Amino acid sequence: MNRITLNDFVKANNADLGAPFQQLLLVIEKTAKIINDKLSRNGLIEEQGSSGDTNVYGEDVQKLDEYANKVFTDALLACPAVAGVGSEELAEPKISGHDGLYLITHDPLDGSSNIDTNLPIGTIFGVYPQNTSVLQKGNTLFASGYILYGPSMMLVYATTAGKVNGFTYDFQTNEFILSHPDIKIGEKKIYSINEGNWELFSESDKNYLTAIKKEGGYSLRYVGSMVADIHRTLLKGGIFLYPADSKHPEGKLRLLYEVAPLSFLIIQAGGDGVSRGVNPLDIMPSKHDQRVPIALGSKVEIEKYSSFQKSNPILDTFKVI
Ligand code: P6P
């Protein structure tokens, strides 16, 4: 295999984005290695388990969540290309003081409930234009991507050039090497949803799920870690769903930190996404921690899912509990 490092690839293929983007990807790469080193020793270190704190959403914060958030946020704020950073774990975005081109949003350790069972988890990042506010539509993204801390660590990123490229970490040389060039979304019939929420689902979603099972040929795969489920959907195809339900009437996943960056990436890979009948990249966030329903995957699967949604999704029937 022709070994192309992430840094060399960015220089050769993202020259249009220039030195600031190269600086940014170098910071993300270095930070990924630091976080991965800590994660790879989880179970042997004191950062296991709950921090005893709760985040802005009242959710239990794992010690490694806090660690990853601090490491990633501080590294980004120190980068001259970055003007500000918003994080799922921060009450408000932080301003770097640099006259940087980018405003970065990130979910430092998505899927952290899986940390202590050694399942794949990830970091999600979005690269927005510098702005006085973190509240920007996903269709303003320059780039987005994720780091998947799995059997191997991977960094996958997309730019507006319709290119999605994946890099695998070689621990022997401490480099990210191009392993998945120009990824286009797969076409397998896989659906990914937490069916444990069945009784919470709307009638439309129940009708859709019943129909695809009746159609046959589908496999259900669900890790419960969005980066892992989206990475599989990207490579294999299918559909990932976290719909609104009676317990999560606005959906569970955050628009800025999870949904917009991963929707951008899936769409750049030739897939599609829908959230209450609209493209998730067209949604203007009303607040930095806004949650939205989401369906992401191959176009044929998104079309099929959309055909079951009510003409006015708001009228979809479930009783909010
Ligand atoms: P549930 C992890 O907590 C997360 O934010 C996403 O990574 C994941 O897709 C989802 O929530 C899982 O939620 O309700 O199925 O456990």
18: left (phi over 0), alpha (psi -120 to 50) or beta: left
The tens digit of pLDDT for each residue in 306-316 reads 999 975 555 55
**From the alpha carbon of 227, which atom of ligand 1 is closest?**
7
The tens digit of pLDDT for each residue in 74-95 reads 999 999 999 999 998 888 889 9
**From the alpha carbon of 196, which atom of ligand 1 is closest?**
15
- In the chain, DSSP assigns E strands to 50-54, 60-62, 82-87, 94-95, 102-110, 121-129, 143-149, 153-159, 163-170, 175-180, 190-192, 219-220, 239-242, 253-254, 272-274, 291-292, 294-297
**From the alpha carbon of 254, which atom of ligand 1 is closest?**
5
What is the DSSP track for 140-199?
A: G-SEEEEEEESSSEEEEEEETTTEEEEEEEETTTTEEEEEETT-------EEE--GGGGG
The alpha carbon of 224 and the centre of ligand 1 are apart by a number of angstroms equal to: 5
pLDDT of the chain along its 321 residues, tens only? 789 999 999 999 998 999 999 999 999 999 999 999 999 988 776 656 666 676 666 666 668 888 999 999 999 999 999 999 999 888 888 999 999 999 999 999 999 888 889 999 999 999 999 988 889 999 999 999 999 999 999 999 999 988 999 999 999 999 999 999 999 999 999 999 999 999 999 999 999 999 999 999 999 999 999 999 999 999 999 999 999 999 999 999 999 999 999 999 999 999 999 999 999 999 999 998 999 999 999 999 999 999 999 755 555 556 555
Instruction: Please give the domain boundaries of the chain with CATH numbers for all domains.
Output: 6-180 (3.30.540.10), 190-315 (3.40.190.80)
The alpha carbon of 226 and the centre of ligand 1 are apart by a number of angstroms equal to: 6
The alpha carbon of 225 and the centre of ligand 1 are apart by a number of angstroms equal to: 6
How many Å apart are CA 182 and CA 286, to the nearest integer? 34
Around ligand 1, the residues with Cβ closer than 6 Å are 110-111, 113, 194, 224-226, 229, 242, 252-253
